[in-house]
Protein backbone atom coordinates (compact mmCIF):
# COMPACT_ATOMS: atom_id res chain seq x y z
CA UNK A 1 0.00 0.00 0.00
CA UNK A 2 1.37 3.44 -0.89
CA UNK A 3 -1.35 5.42 0.92
CA UNK A 4 -1.27 6.83 4.43
CA UNK A 5 -3.63 3.99 5.39
CA UNK A 6 -1.00 1.54 4.17
CA UNK A 7 1.69 3.21 6.27
CA UNK A 8 -0.55 3.06 9.33
CA UNK A 9 -1.28 -0.61 8.63
CA UNK A 10 2.43 -1.47 8.55
CA UNK A 11 3.08 0.56 11.70
CA UNK A 12 0.29 -1.21 13.52
CA UNK A 13 1.70 -4.62 12.62
CA UNK A 14 5.18 -3.58 13.81
CA UNK A 15 3.68 -2.30 17.03
CA UNK A 16 1.89 -5.61 17.68
CA UNK A 17 5.04 -7.62 16.98
CA UNK A 18 7.20 -5.58 19.36
CA UNK A 19 4.88 -5.85 22.36
CA UNK A 20 4.40 -8.79 24.65
CA UNK A 21 0.89 -10.12 25.13
CA UNK A 22 0.76 -8.73 28.67
CA UNK A 23 1.92 -5.29 27.66
CA UNK A 24 -0.29 -5.22 24.59
CA UNK A 25 -3.46 -6.61 26.15
CA UNK A 26 -2.92 -5.70 29.77
CA UNK A 27 -3.09 -8.13 32.64
CA UNK A 28 -6.83 -8.61 32.24
CA UNK A 29 -6.45 -9.72 28.63
CA UNK A 30 -8.81 -6.93 27.52
CA UNK A 31 -8.04 -4.49 24.76
CA UNK A 32 -6.15 -1.42 25.93
CA UNK A 33 -6.47 2.18 24.81
CA UNK A 34 -3.67 1.62 22.33
CA UNK A 35 -5.61 -1.25 20.72
CA UNK A 36 -8.67 0.95 20.39
CA UNK A 37 -6.61 3.76 18.83
CA UNK A 38 -4.92 1.55 16.24
CA UNK A 39 -8.07 -0.37 15.40
CA UNK A 40 -10.32 2.65 15.07
CA UNK A 41 -7.75 4.66 13.13
CA UNK A 42 -7.04 1.84 10.73
CA UNK A 43 -10.74 1.14 10.11
CA UNK A 44 -11.50 4.79 9.43
CA UNK A 45 -8.64 5.16 6.96
CA UNK A 46 -9.41 1.86 5.24
CA UNK A 47 -13.00 3.04 4.79
CA UNK A 48 -11.83 6.35 3.37
CA UNK A 49 -9.62 4.61 0.81
CA UNK A 50 -12.09 1.86 -0.14
CA UNK A 51 -13.97 2.10 -3.47
CA UNK A 52 -17.21 3.98 -2.96
CA UNK A 53 -20.31 1.85 -3.44
CA UNK A 54 -22.86 4.17 -1.95
CA UNK A 55 -26.01 5.55 -3.55
CA UNK A 56 -24.36 8.95 -4.00
CA UNK A 57 -22.62 7.51 -7.09
CA UNK A 58 -25.83 6.24 -8.66
CA UNK A 59 -27.31 8.78 -11.07
CA UNK A 60 -30.64 9.12 -12.80
CA UNK A 61 -29.86 9.32 -16.50
CA UNK A 62 -32.54 9.99 -19.11
CA UNK A 63 -31.71 8.82 -22.62
CA UNK A 64 -33.79 10.63 -25.23
CA UNK A 65 -34.11 8.23 -28.14
CA UNK A 66 -33.23 5.40 -25.79
CA UNK A 67 -34.81 2.66 -27.91
CA UNK A 68 -32.90 3.30 -31.15
CA UNK A 69 -29.70 1.78 -32.56
CA UNK A 70 -27.35 3.75 -30.31
CA UNK A 71 -29.79 4.54 -27.52
CA UNK A 72 -30.53 0.92 -26.69
CA UNK A 73 -26.80 0.23 -26.36
CA UNK A 74 -26.23 3.27 -24.16
CA UNK A 75 -29.12 2.26 -21.90
CA UNK A 76 -27.73 -1.27 -21.56
CA UNK A 77 -24.23 -0.02 -20.67
CA UNK A 78 -25.48 2.46 -18.07
CA UNK A 79 -27.88 0.02 -16.42
CA UNK A 80 -25.04 -2.47 -16.24
CA UNK A 81 -23.15 0.06 -14.13
CA UNK A 82 -26.04 0.35 -11.70
CA UNK A 83 -27.47 3.71 -12.76
CA UNK A 84 -31.17 4.50 -12.85
CA UNK A 85 -31.74 4.83 -16.58
CA UNK A 86 -34.91 5.90 -18.37
CA UNK A 87 -35.22 5.15 -22.09
CA UNK A 88 -37.41 8.03 -23.25
CA UNK A 89 -39.20 8.12 -26.61
CA UNK A 90 -42.58 9.10 -28.04
CA UNK A 91 -43.67 5.50 -27.45
CA UNK A 92 -43.04 5.98 -23.73
CA UNK A 93 -44.95 9.27 -23.65
CA UNK A 94 -41.98 11.64 -24.03
CA UNK A 95 -42.05 13.95 -27.04
CA UNK A 96 -39.37 16.62 -27.41
CA UNK A 97 -41.27 18.37 -30.22
CA UNK A 98 -44.49 18.93 -28.26
CA UNK A 99 -42.79 18.91 -24.85
CA UNK A 100 -45.12 16.17 -23.68
CA UNK A 101 -43.76 14.17 -20.73
CA UNK A 102 -40.47 16.08 -20.44
CA UNK A 103 -41.00 17.63 -17.01
CA UNK A 104 -42.14 14.30 -15.58
CA UNK A 105 -39.31 12.18 -16.97
CA UNK A 106 -36.60 14.71 -16.08
CA UNK A 107 -37.68 15.08 -12.45
CA UNK A 108 -34.64 14.20 -10.36
CA UNK A 109 -32.43 13.55 -13.40
CA UNK A 110 -28.71 14.21 -13.16
CA UNK A 111 -27.83 13.61 -16.81
CA UNK A 112 -29.68 13.80 -20.12
CA UNK A 113 -28.30 11.99 -23.17
CA UNK A 114 -29.91 13.29 -26.37
CA UNK A 115 -29.80 10.76 -29.20
CA UNK A 116 -33.02 11.76 -30.96
CA UNK A 117 -32.86 12.25 -34.72
CA UNK A 118 -35.12 13.99 -37.19
CA UNK A 119 -37.70 11.69 -38.77
CA UNK A 120 -37.39 13.72 -41.99
CA UNK A 121 -34.27 14.69 -43.94
CA UNK A 122 -36.00 17.55 -45.77
CA UNK A 123 -34.03 20.74 -45.09
CA UNK A 124 -36.70 22.80 -43.34
CA UNK A 125 -38.06 19.84 -41.38
CA UNK A 126 -34.63 18.91 -40.03
CA UNK A 127 -33.93 22.47 -38.89
CA UNK A 128 -37.35 22.70 -37.26
CA UNK A 129 -36.87 19.39 -35.47
CA UNK A 130 -33.49 20.19 -33.91
CA UNK A 131 -34.37 23.76 -32.90
CA UNK A 132 -37.80 22.98 -31.45
CA UNK A 133 -36.65 19.82 -29.67
CA UNK A 134 -33.59 21.60 -28.31
CA UNK A 135 -35.53 24.55 -26.91
CA UNK A 136 -38.10 22.30 -25.25
CA UNK A 137 -35.45 19.99 -23.84
CA UNK A 138 -33.31 22.74 -22.34
CA UNK A 139 -36.28 24.51 -20.78
CA UNK A 140 -37.20 21.25 -19.04
CA UNK A 141 -33.59 20.49 -18.08
CA UNK A 142 -33.12 23.88 -16.44
CA UNK A 143 -36.36 23.49 -14.50
CA UNK A 144 -35.26 20.04 -13.32
CA UNK A 145 -31.71 21.09 -12.43
CA UNK A 146 -30.02 18.69 -14.85
CA UNK A 147 -26.24 18.80 -14.36
CA UNK A 148 -24.96 17.37 -17.65
CA UNK A 149 -26.35 17.35 -21.20
CA UNK A 150 -24.73 14.87 -23.59
CA UNK A 151 -25.49 15.01 -27.32
CA UNK A 152 -24.35 12.83 -30.19
CA UNK A 153 -23.41 14.66 -33.36
CA UNK A 154 -21.19 14.07 -36.39
CA UNK A 155 -17.49 14.54 -37.13
CA UNK A 156 -17.20 17.29 -39.72
CA UNK A 157 -20.58 18.88 -38.95
CA UNK A 158 -19.13 22.39 -39.26
CA UNK A 159 -17.60 21.44 -42.63
CA UNK A 160 -20.85 20.08 -44.08
CA UNK A 161 -23.03 23.19 -44.04
CA UNK A 162 -23.97 22.65 -47.71
CA UNK A 163 -26.22 19.85 -46.45
CA UNK A 164 -29.59 20.79 -45.00
CA UNK A 165 -29.32 17.97 -42.46
CA UNK A 166 -26.01 19.24 -41.15
CA UNK A 167 -27.29 22.81 -40.98
CA UNK A 168 -29.83 21.37 -38.57
CA UNK A 169 -27.04 19.76 -36.53
CA UNK A 170 -25.12 23.04 -36.51
CA UNK A 171 -28.21 24.77 -35.09
CA UNK A 172 -28.57 22.02 -32.48
CA UNK A 173 -24.97 22.43 -31.33
CA UNK A 174 -25.38 26.21 -31.10
CA UNK A 175 -28.39 25.74 -28.81
CA UNK A 176 -26.37 23.36 -26.64
CA UNK A 177 -23.47 25.80 -26.25
CA UNK A 178 -25.79 28.68 -25.39
CA UNK A 179 -28.13 26.74 -23.09
CA UNK A 180 -26.34 27.36 -19.82
CA UNK A 181 -26.51 23.63 -19.02
CA UNK A 182 -23.09 21.93 -18.64
CA UNK A 183 -22.59 19.77 -21.72
CA UNK A 184 -20.54 17.35 -23.75
CA UNK A 185 -20.97 17.14 -27.53
CA UNK A 186 -19.74 13.84 -28.97
CA UNK A 187 -18.76 13.99 -32.63
CA UNK A 188 -18.81 10.51 -34.15
CA UNK A 189 -17.70 9.36 -37.56
CA UNK A 190 -20.19 7.47 -39.73
CA UNK A 191 -21.40 4.08 -38.49
CA UNK A 192 -20.61 0.83 -40.31
CA UNK A 193 -24.34 0.12 -40.04
CA UNK A 194 -25.06 2.97 -42.48
CA UNK A 195 -22.82 1.77 -45.32
CA UNK A 196 -25.86 0.39 -47.12
CA UNK A 197 -27.59 3.75 -46.87
CA UNK A 198 -24.54 5.51 -48.26
CA UNK A 199 -24.59 3.11 -51.19
CA UNK A 200 -28.25 3.94 -51.82
CA UNK A 201 -27.44 7.66 -51.80
CA UNK A 202 -24.96 7.15 -54.65
CA UNK A 203 -27.61 6.54 -57.28
CA UNK A 204 -29.76 3.82 -58.76
CA UNK A 205 -28.90 1.03 -61.14
CA UNK A 206 -25.74 -1.04 -61.21
CA UNK A 207 -23.34 1.88 -60.86
CA UNK A 208 -22.91 3.94 -57.68
CA UNK A 209 -20.94 7.18 -57.73
CA UNK A 210 -19.31 8.10 -54.43
CA UNK A 211 -16.58 10.44 -53.27
CA UNK A 212 -13.10 8.97 -52.76
CA UNK A 213 -12.66 11.18 -49.67
CA UNK A 214 -11.34 9.58 -46.50
CA UNK A 215 -13.55 8.62 -43.59
CA UNK A 216 -13.11 6.51 -40.48
CA UNK A 217 -16.27 4.43 -39.89
CA UNK A 218 -17.11 3.10 -36.42
CA UNK A 219 -19.28 0.27 -35.09
CA UNK A 220 -22.45 1.25 -33.23
CA UNK A 221 -21.34 -0.98 -30.32
CA UNK A 222 -18.27 1.22 -29.89
CA UNK A 223 -20.39 4.37 -30.15
CA UNK A 224 -22.75 3.13 -27.44
CA UNK A 225 -19.86 2.34 -25.10
CA UNK A 226 -18.26 5.74 -25.67
CA UNK A 227 -21.48 7.68 -25.11
CA UNK A 228 -22.10 5.79 -21.86
CA UNK A 229 -18.58 6.59 -20.65
CA UNK A 230 -18.88 10.31 -21.40
CA UNK A 231 -22.32 10.44 -19.78
CA UNK A 232 -20.92 9.52 -16.36
CA UNK A 233 -17.87 11.77 -16.64
CA UNK A 234 -17.74 15.46 -15.82
CA UNK A 235 -19.09 17.76 -18.55
CA UNK A 236 -16.43 18.82 -21.06
CA UNK A 237 -18.27 21.98 -22.12
CA UNK A 238 -16.86 21.27 -25.54
CA UNK A 239 -16.54 18.63 -28.24
CA UNK A 240 -14.96 15.17 -28.06
CA UNK A 241 -14.46 12.95 -31.11
CA UNK A 242 -14.85 9.21 -31.59
CA UNK A 243 -13.93 7.20 -34.67
CA UNK A 244 -13.25 3.73 -35.96
CA UNK A 245 -9.74 2.28 -35.96
CA UNK A 246 -9.08 2.55 -39.72
CA UNK A 247 -9.01 5.52 -42.08
CA UNK A 248 -10.19 4.42 -45.53
CA UNK A 249 -11.63 5.93 -48.69
CA UNK A 250 -15.41 6.17 -48.75
CA UNK A 251 -15.83 4.66 -52.22
CA UNK A 252 -13.50 1.76 -51.39
CA UNK A 253 -15.25 0.90 -48.12
CA UNK A 254 -18.71 0.92 -49.68
CA UNK A 255 -17.47 -1.36 -52.46
CA UNK A 256 -16.02 -3.68 -49.83
CA UNK A 257 -19.39 -3.75 -48.06
CA UNK A 258 -21.26 -4.50 -51.28
CA UNK A 259 -18.86 -7.32 -52.13
CA UNK A 260 -19.22 -8.79 -48.63
CA UNK A 261 -23.01 -8.76 -48.93
CA UNK A 262 -22.91 -10.29 -52.43
CA UNK A 263 -24.32 -7.12 -53.98
CA UNK A 264 -23.36 -6.93 -57.66
CA UNK A 265 -23.35 -3.12 -57.88
CA UNK A 266 -20.08 -1.36 -58.59
CA UNK A 267 -18.81 1.84 -57.02
CA UNK A 268 -17.16 4.49 -59.17
CA UNK A 269 -14.96 6.98 -57.32
CA UNK A 270 -16.09 10.47 -58.34
CA UNK A 271 -14.55 13.56 -56.74
CA UNK A 272 -17.66 15.53 -57.72
CA UNK A 273 -20.10 13.16 -56.03
CA UNK A 274 -21.91 14.76 -53.11
CA UNK A 275 -22.33 13.26 -49.67
CA UNK A 276 -25.94 13.91 -48.65
CA UNK A 277 -25.79 17.19 -50.54
CA UNK A 278 -22.30 18.30 -49.48
CA UNK A 279 -19.02 18.29 -51.39
CA UNK A 280 -16.16 16.48 -49.67
CA UNK A 281 -12.42 16.84 -49.53
CA UNK A 282 -10.05 14.38 -47.91
CA UNK A 283 -10.40 15.91 -44.43
CA UNK A 284 -14.14 16.62 -44.27
CA UNK A 285 -15.23 13.35 -42.61
CA UNK A 286 -12.15 12.49 -40.54
CA UNK A 287 -11.49 13.42 -36.91
CA UNK A 288 -8.75 15.69 -35.66
CA UNK A 289 -5.89 14.69 -33.40
CA UNK A 290 -6.41 12.10 -30.65
CA UNK A 291 -10.00 10.91 -31.09
CA UNK A 292 -11.25 8.02 -28.98
CA UNK A 293 -10.93 4.98 -31.26
CA UNK A 294 -13.38 2.11 -31.40
CA UNK A 295 -12.14 -1.47 -31.09
CA UNK A 296 -13.97 -3.02 -34.05
CA UNK A 297 -12.66 -2.77 -37.60
CA UNK A 298 -14.80 -3.63 -40.62
CA UNK A 299 -14.06 -7.36 -40.55
CA UNK A 300 -14.80 -7.68 -36.82
CA UNK A 301 -17.99 -5.66 -37.16
CA UNK A 302 -19.19 -7.51 -40.26
CA UNK A 303 -18.60 -10.94 -38.73
CA UNK A 304 -21.11 -10.17 -35.98
CA UNK A 305 -23.56 -7.97 -37.90
CA UNK A 306 -26.95 -8.76 -39.35
CA UNK A 307 -25.59 -7.79 -42.77
CA UNK A 308 -23.46 -10.95 -42.76
CA UNK A 309 -26.49 -13.21 -42.26
Same-domain pairing of 43 and 173: no
pLDDT above 80: residue 9: no
Same-domain pairing of 28 and 128: no
Confidence of residue 204 (pLDDT cuts 50, 70, 90): confident
Same-domain pairing of 195 and 114: yes
Beta bridge partners, 150, equal 113, 184
pLDDT above 80: residue 258: yes
Same-domain pairing of 119 and 67: yes
Same-domain pairing of 60 and 43: no
Confidence of residue 10 (pLDDT cuts 50, 70, 90): very low
Same-domain pairing of 136 and 17: no
**Structural domain count of the chain:** 2
Same-domain pairing of 24 and 108: no
The percentage of the chain sitting over the pLDDT mark of 70, rounded to a whole number, equals 81
Q: Rounded mean pLDDT of 26-52?
A: 37
What is residue 193's predicted lDDT score, i.e. its pLDDT? 97
pLDDT 10s digits, 168-184: 999 999 999 999 999 99
pTM for this predicted structure: 0.81
Same-domain pairing of 123 and 201: yes
Q: Rounded mean pLDDT of 133-162?
A: 98
Same-domain pairing of 14 and 99: no
Same-domain pairing of 76 and 223: yes
Same-domain pairing of 182 and 302: yes
**CATH code (residue 164):** 3.40.50.720
Task: Report how far residue 6's alpha carbon sits from residue 8's, in angstroms, rounded to the nearest whole number.
Answer: 5
Same-domain pairing of 17 and 91: no
State the first-to-last Cα distance of the chain, in angstroms, to the nearest integer: 52
Cβ atoms of 152 and 114 closer than 8 Å: yes
pLDDT 10s digits, 140-150: 999 999 999 99
Confidence of residue 203 (pLDDT cuts 50, 70, 90): confident
Q: Rounded mean pLDDT of 262-269?
A: 97
Q: Whole domain around residue 209: which residue ranges?
A: 55-308
Amino acid sequence: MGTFAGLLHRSARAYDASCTDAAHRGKSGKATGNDVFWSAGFERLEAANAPRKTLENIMKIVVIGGTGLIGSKVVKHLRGRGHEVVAASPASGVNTITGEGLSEVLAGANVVVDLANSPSFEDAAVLEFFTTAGKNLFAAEKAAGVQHHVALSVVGTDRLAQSGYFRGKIAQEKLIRESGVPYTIIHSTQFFEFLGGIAQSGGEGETIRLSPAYFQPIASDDVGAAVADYAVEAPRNGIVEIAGPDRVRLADMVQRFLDATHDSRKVVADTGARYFGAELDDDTLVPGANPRLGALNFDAWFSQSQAAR
